[in-house]
Chain A
Amino acid sequence: MLDIRNTVREICNRRPRIVVLPIGAVEQHGGHLPVGTDWIIAEEIALRVAKELDAFLLPGLPFSMSQCHGPSPGTVWLTPLTLAAVVEDLVTALYKQGLRTIVIINGHGGNFILPDIVEDLCDRYKGLELILLPEFPELVEYFFSAEAAKSDIHAGEVETSIQLFLNKDYVVLEEMQDFVPAAGREYLDYVFLPDLSPSGVWGRPSKSNPDKGRDYLEAYVNACVRYVRDTLHSQAAQKRRK
């Protein structure tokens, strides 16, 4: 695996086939999780995926579409078109250097512009293999609960479990409180999340534990690696058929 600690010469000599770009967020995560939770988790997943794929790991983009949290303390956002422009610029720069297989690890569920920009870039750049890793809700259901898969939207059981496993010291246990708003997730198209949940939590962090976080993280990384390999394999097969 290569990353920003390598020299340009080392990167050129190794000619990595796959590049991994994590996208995080800095936004309120209730009273118990750090604002950098999405960034921290995206970087950790990206590191593990990059190791498995022997890829070139880029530094994580710390900010993304967090305006859904409104002006909460610590929340820093990019607007959708800015995020799209950042992704476009980075993919273009990599493409010009001959790096055509790029995997995006999205750490923030609210980045709804990403599928659009990925599709647009794949249409425009011949030979580009830009893979946006999907969510794997079946994993959430397997490691947590069916209820978590449905109602664990933000700073709930899943994220808290992972953070407890990765950085227990960053979690303020005494501030942990469950909250599932009566309104559905679709209301986030109309109001800020703290308008629906005063604590900023949407889920049940009280059900979290570090073991679940570890198991889920491992399974998620495995699923990501499998997804990338399968996608590349099927794309190669398609090319051969053509």
Chain B
Amino acid sequence: MRVVTYKNTSYEIERARPSMAILGVGGLEYISDDLPLGTNLLLVGEIARCIADVLDARTYLLPVFPFGLPARDRRGSGTLTVRYQTLMNVIRDVVCSLYAQGIRQVVIINGLGKVGGNKIIPYGNLSVKTSVRQINYEFLEGKTIWLQPVVIAQQELIQILGSPKAGLVERALMLKLQPQLVKDKMEVDLEQATAVLNAIVQRSAEYINRTLANLAAIKGGIKRDARS
């Protein structure tokens, strides 16, 4: 078994010896009138599952933590969030519990991100970055990284969708993954939606592999330097 989840027993997880865990951080917030409150939560969960399926590593796919920080432009009715210090502590506790059982690579899918975003400052949930950074400074034996899949794949998404306006990527992904929950399906067709999902999953998996390999090389270099 290469990918284990909450549906597996402790014994099965032990036998699978996962070297990596994936934790999604979702969000409950208004996206648009036609998309459900849980759009980000549902999509992060599906994308995390798809990414786990294409990675080479033996992976423990965790349930998505459902709540994120309030986005500046999306406060208001229906939005259900936690404070920055709470999210930092959730990330820290989860990563520490994974490190304690020998899983030393943790990937955090920090919401979806947006086209136009970057890999330095996340779009929303900034405290995930802060928490990851602190964990990596304190626990040198592990590697924890974060990413926002839409940011990683944005060049390809622009090719597929043009310059997508706010909410279009989410709508495309919902059309592909949760079509019964999309009330307005006219802006994107299924072929585009499939291409959007594939791009996001493939580019994210490549990014994860590349980043972890780079980190291993950098850490190896640091150890060699320290010895010489």
Q: Which A residues contact B (CB, under 8 angstroms)? A: 3-9, 11-12, 26-36, 39-40, 58-63, 66-67, 70-79, 81-82, 85-86, 88-90, 93-94, 97, 167, 170, 172, 175, 200
User: Contacts of A200 on B, CB cut-off 8 Å?
Assistant: 10
Per-residue contact bits, chain B 112-129, to A (CB 8 Å; 1 contact, 0 not): 000000000000000000
Asked, given contacts A30-B9, A31-B10, A172-B11, whether A59 binds B41 with beta carbons under 8 Å apart, the answer is yes
CA distance A86 to B12 in the complex (A): 30
CA distance A29 to B6 in the complex (A): 11
8 intermolecular pairs with C-beta atoms under 8 Å apart: A5-B36, A33-B9, A74-B101, A77-B93, A77-B94, A85-B85, A86-B82, A90-B67
Q: Are A35 and B97 in contact, with the CB atoms below 8 A?
A: no
Q: Which B residues contact A (CB, under 8 angstroms)? A: 4-14, 26, 28, 30, 33-38, 41-42, 60, 62-67, 77-83, 85-86, 89-90, 92-94, 97-98, 100-102, 181, 183
- Within 8 Å by CB of B89, from A4, A66, A79, lies A79
User: Contacts of B4 on A, CB cut-off 8 Å?
Assistant: 74
Q: Are B83 and A85 in contact, with the CB atoms below 8 A?
A: yes
Q: Are B10 and A4 in contact, with the CB atoms below 8 A?
A: no
User: Contacts of A77 on B, CB cut-off 8 Å?
Assistant: 93-94, 97
- Within 8 Å by CB of B94, from A9, A35, A76, lies A76
B114 to chain A, nearest CB (A): 19
- Within 8 Å by CB of B82, from A27, A63, A66, A89, lies A89
User: Contacts of A81 on B, CB cut-off 8 Å?
Assistant: 89
Q: Are B7 and A170 in contact, with the CB atoms below 8 A?
A: yes
B67 to chain A, nearest CB (A): 7
Q: Are B10 and A85 in contact, with the CB atoms below 8 A?
A: no
- Within 8 Å by CB of B38, from A4, A31, A33, A67, lies A4
Q: Are B90 and A78 in contact, with the CB atoms below 8 A?
A: yes
CA distance A110 to B12 in the complex (A): 24
Q: Are A59 and B38 in contact, with the CB atoms below 8 A?
A: yes
- Within 8 Å by CB of A89, from B14, B30, B83, lies B83
CA distance A181 to B162 in the complex (A): 63
Q: Are B42 and A11 in contact, with the CB atoms below 8 A?
A: no
- Within 8 Å by CB of A7, from B14, B33, B42, B93, lies B33
CA distance A72 to B34 in the complex (A): 43
User: Contacts of A73 on B, CB cut-off 8 Å?
Assistant: 10-11, 13-14, 101
CA distance A11 to B30 in the complex (A): 11
CA distance A106 to B60 in the complex (A): 24
A192 to chain B, nearest CB (A): 11
User: Contacts of A63 on B, CB cut-off 8 Å?
Assistant: 63, 65, 90, 93-94
Q: Are A82 and B86 in contact, with the CB atoms below 8 A?
A: yes
- Within 8 Å by CB of A86, from B11, B86, B92, lies B86
B195 to chain A, nearest CB (A): 25
Asked, given contacts A4-B36, A75-B101, A78-B93, whether A39 binds B81 with beta carbons under 8 Å apart, the answer is no
CA distance A32 to B7 in the complex (A): 11
